[in-house]
Amino acid sequence: MNAISLDTLDYATKLKAGGFSEQQAETQARALAEVLEKQIATREEVTQHENLLRRDIEGLRVELKHDLEVLRIEAKRDLRETELRLEARLAETNTRIAETKADLTRWVIGVGILQTTVIIAVLMKIAKLI
């Protein structure tokens, strides 16, 4: 049964009142009824389409959940790789700082010894002159 029904008798009567002949009005009413019957979806058809849409939506929902989980896993992996690279760079930086600190300490001690030697030498020269 169609969702919309057409009262062909009422339609034909209105056509006759508008100037159509009885045969024209009846033919027009039957033709319109046939077209409507072919074009208008039944409740069953609508329900079938709704069910198909629901199935498609559920399929998309499952696919989307899967894609999100894949992205989540990839993001965790990428984050872990970035953390490891940062940790390696930090360790490298700490090593370079320690090496620089050792170099600076050697230079400061060396300069201090040189300075002390020069001061002692100058004082000895002054002491010999006196």
Q: Which residue has better confidence, 87 or 127?
A: 87
Domain residue limits, the chain: 1-40, 41-129
Q: Cβ distance 47 to 34 under 8 Å? A: no
Phi-psi region of 59 (alpha: psi -120 to 50; beta: other; left: phi over 0): alpha
pLDDT score recorded for residue 10: 86
Q: Residue 36: which of 4, 1, 10 has the closest Cα?
A: 4
- The span from the CA of 85 to the CA of 77, in Å, is 12
Per residue in 75-85, pLDDT tens? 999 999 999 99
Per residue in 95-130, pLDDT tens? 999 999 999 999 999 999 999 999 999 999 998 887
Q: Is the pLDDT of residue 2 over 50?
A: no
Per residue in 43-82, pLDDT tens? 888 899 999 999 999 999 999 999 999 999 999 999 999 9
- The span from the CA of 4 to the CA of 60, in Å, is 33
Q: Cβ distance 12 to 25 under 8 Å? A: yes
Q: Is the pLDDT of residue 41 over 80?
A: no
Q: Residue 4: which of 55, 48, 39, 53 has the closest Cα?
A: 39
In terms of pTM, does the model score above 0.75? no
